Structure 1
Amino acid sequence: MNNYKKILLGLVLIGLVVMAVFAYQVYGTFFTANTNFETETYEILIPTDADYDVAFMAIAASVKDRDAFHETAVRKGYNANVKSGRFLLKQGMSNNDIINAVRSRNIPLNVRFNNQERLEDLAGRIATQIEADSTSLMEVMRDSTFLKKNGFTQENALSMYLPNQYEFYWNSSATTFRDRMFQGYKSFWNESRLKKAKKIELSPQQVSVLASIVHKETAKVDERPKVAGVYMNRLNTGMRLEADPTVIYSKKLLDGNFDQVIKRVLFKDLELDSRYNTYKYTGLPPGPIVSPDLSAIDAVLNYEKHDYFFFVADVQNFGYHKFAKNLAQHNANAAEYRRWIQAQNVKR
């Protein structure tokens, strides 16, 4: 009987040792720190419809012991339930923490854009920030059915995308991005702004077109209502807008090269045959020449009422302009500017 008790006690002790070893191994596998990066956080991007192999490779560089991570993933069922999205790991996380993070904590990011001259530029910019590629973005942005239904054309579709900072999930689709931008556009064009647009006899899209010119003419927010007032005076009296930024846009468009930098408009450029060239054609261009920021749009809606019809860069107050009520005064201001630009030896 005593021998039996000794054997039983021995088996119990062996069992306890085995359990202790197993518990230690499990703890080490699940709960020991297993990160392999020195920064405070590490970004993991797991594509839409990714399987476990793709997800594992996305995570692998961030962990020290890949086998331990894999074992944890299998034990916790992650290998059969991969989630797409953007996930942030923190230094010192255990395998258990990492699995919990990548299967349930899709972290949104801030998408930013401004100064986009074409939908192609916008699509390229957005494609660097979310999963959707530029091709899919262009496809939905130019969807003729969507544009017609919501009052846009191929030429003015850019006006729907208001420069700002927006929160998106990284794995947002191209359609999700476009539709979210349209909702933001409708929110921006509230009853108050729509009334102002109607009062100056412009549609929201036309306001954006004029705002894009104002945006390009001056970076000084406090000067934009005054510049907008000049263009409204010209529109209301049937004058051509004669805006240099539209000539620059026309040249880029006709050359098929929007990467070129044009600092000076030449007299020959004024004859470029493009509907965007406001020296050649009366009225507004068919679409914006850049995505105007919100201050430029509001500058048009709240343009300064005055008697100025002309303006030129002020060489004594850089960034601002000199305004004139008549051509004689403007010519004097323009001559001063030409002398300055020639002294700078700016050829193009």
Structure 2
Amino acid sequence: MMKKLLLFLAILGFILIGIIGFAYYKINDSLFLQDYGLVVNKHTTPEDIFTELKNKDIINSKLLPTYLARAKQVNQFKEGFYYFPKGTSTNAFINTLRAGRQSPVKLTFNNTRTLFEFAGKISRQIKPDSLELLNHLTNDSVANSYGFDKNNFIGMFLPNTYEMYYTATPKEFTDRMNKEYLRFWNTQRKKKAEELGYTQKQISIVASIVDEETNKSDEKSRIAGVYLNRLERNIPLQADPTLKFAVGDFTIKRLLNKHMEVDSPYNTYKYSGLPPGPIRQPSISAIDAVLNAENHNYIYFCAKADFSGYHVFSKTLSEHNRNARAYHRALNKRGIR
């Protein structure tokens, strides 16, 4: 009888060891079938997460994560963005979420004209919503704390791709952007701005106009040279993009006399000098184009009549008028009003 009991216990022991070994293998075996980025918000439950993963066929076990979370007494995961590469185990998955070991998100922005538009773009990439971000970005004291005002604050945000945690607050976001701005304006760039006789903010204003004038990188420094020539000679910039900004409509194909009568400090047909602030976030390439502007005698430029996106440059008004007439004929031919 004793031998049978010992045999039974031995068999049971082997079975238990096998079960434990299998369970250990399973929880440390590959769970994720592909790379996946997961966003966990304040009210997201473990069940919500497991359901999302199951429905998208991201994991190869529909029950194990739930059982393991219960075994570890996990009722709530920490907020954040978590990246799980293909092959991540169930154990690593649960432990990462429980410990709140976030992965940084890649935050990207460009081609942004207003803080309102900017808040919307950023809110789609980190936790704060657009209203929370907008309230922060349009708060004068916030802009002032970084040495900006409401008109030029948008110039602090240099278009690029940055790594940041999903849970970043609006202040943490602007603190980081200010750090990037200060890093960008190194000694060499500051020296070039000083040699040109302009502040960093003024350079950014010119760069924003250059960005709106062309998307041809090989033409930016030449256009920058035109605007610097005009400023040096006290000639109104007469920059079409600033007028479109003043009117509030960048879809305008043809600017008319009625547009040029708009009373706005951004109307550079009506007012000399630079407008109060950038008309968009100036790109890094445009800022560098202004700092390294071509040295030439051009005062005017006009879009080429071939609609290539390039411009034709001129030194005299009569020459410019000929170029402008050619472009307007091309517009008429295409029926663009």
- Counterpart pick for 1:41 among 25, 35, 40: 35
Structure-2 change in CA distance of 1:248 and 1:200 (3 Å):
same
Matched, 1:221 2:221: no
**Superposition map of 1:21-170 within 5 A:** 22-23=19-20, 26-27=23-24, 30-31=27-28, 40-47=34-41, 52=46, 61=55, 62-63=58-59, 66-77=62-73, 79=74, 82-91=77-86, 93-103=88-98, 105-170=101-166
Matched, 1:303 2:300: no
C-alpha distance in 2 between matches for 1:318 and 1:169: 41
SS at structure 2 position matched to 1:71: helix
Structure-2 change in CA distance of 1:57 and 1:156 (3 Å):
farther
**Superposition map of 1:225-304 within 5 A:** 225-252=221-248, 261-304=251-294
Deviation of residue 278 (structure 1)?
0.7
Per-residue CA shift, 1:180-226, capped at 9, x if unaligned? 11000001111121122122222111111111111111111121111
SS at structure 2 position matched to 1:117: coil
- Check the 8 A contact 2:302/2:313 in 1, yes or no: yes
C-alpha distance in 2 between matches for 1:147 and 1:306: 36
SS at structure 2 position matched to 1:44: strand
C-alpha distance in 2 between matches for 1:16 and 1:219: 73
| Stretches of structure 1 lacking an aligned partner (at least 5 in a row) | 253-257
C-alpha distance in 1 between matches for 2:230 and 2:271: 13
Deviates more, 1:56-65 or 1:214-223: 56-65
> What letter corresponds to residue 41 of structure 2 in structure 1?
P
Deviates more, 1:5-14 or 1:128-137: 5-14
- Check the 8 A contact 1:63/1:69 in 2, yes or no: no
Q: How does the TM-score come out when normalised to structure 2?
A: 0.88
Deviation of residue 153 (structure 1)?
0.6
- Check the 8 A contact 1:32/1:94 in 2, yes or no: yes
Give the structure 1 partner of residue 312 of structure 2.
322
C-alpha distance in 1 between matches for 2:145 and 2:171: 15
- Check the 8 A contact 1:55/1:82 in 2, yes or no: no
Structure-2 change in CA distance of 1:225 and 1:236 (3 Å):
same
Structure-2 change in CA distance of 1:81 and 1:67 (3 Å):
same
Deviation of residue 310 (structure 1)?
0.9
Per-residue CA shift, 1:276-298, capped at 9, x if unaligned? 11111111111111112111111
- Check the 8 A contact 1:44/1:59 in 2, yes or no: no
Deviation of residue 48 (structure 1)?
5.1
> What letter corresponds to residue 238 of structure 1 in structure 2?
N
Per-residue CA shift, 1:301-337, capped at 9, x if unaligned? 1212221111111224722211111111111111111
Give the structure 2 partner of residue 255 of structure 1.
none
- Check the 8 A contact 2:47/2:66 in 1, yes or no: no
C-alpha distance in 1 between matches for 2:37 and 2:298: 53
Identity of aligned residues (%): 37
Per-residue CA shift, 1:69-92, capped at 9, x if unaligned? 222013234x15733322233556
C-alpha distance in 2 between matches for 1:317 and 1:55: 51
C-alpha distance in 2 between matches for 1:48 and 1:293: 35
Deviation of residue 49 (structure 1)?
7.6
Deviation of residue 106 (structure 1)?
2.4
- Check the 8 A contact 1:44/1:58 in 2, yes or no: no
> What letter corresponds to residue 309 of structure 2 in structure 1?
G
| Stretches of structure 2 lacking an aligned partner (at least 5 in a row) | none
- Counterpart pick for 2:326 among 336, 339, 342: 336
Q: How does the TM-score come out when normalised to structure 1?
A: 0.86
- Check the 8 A contact 1:247/1:269 in 2, yes or no: yes
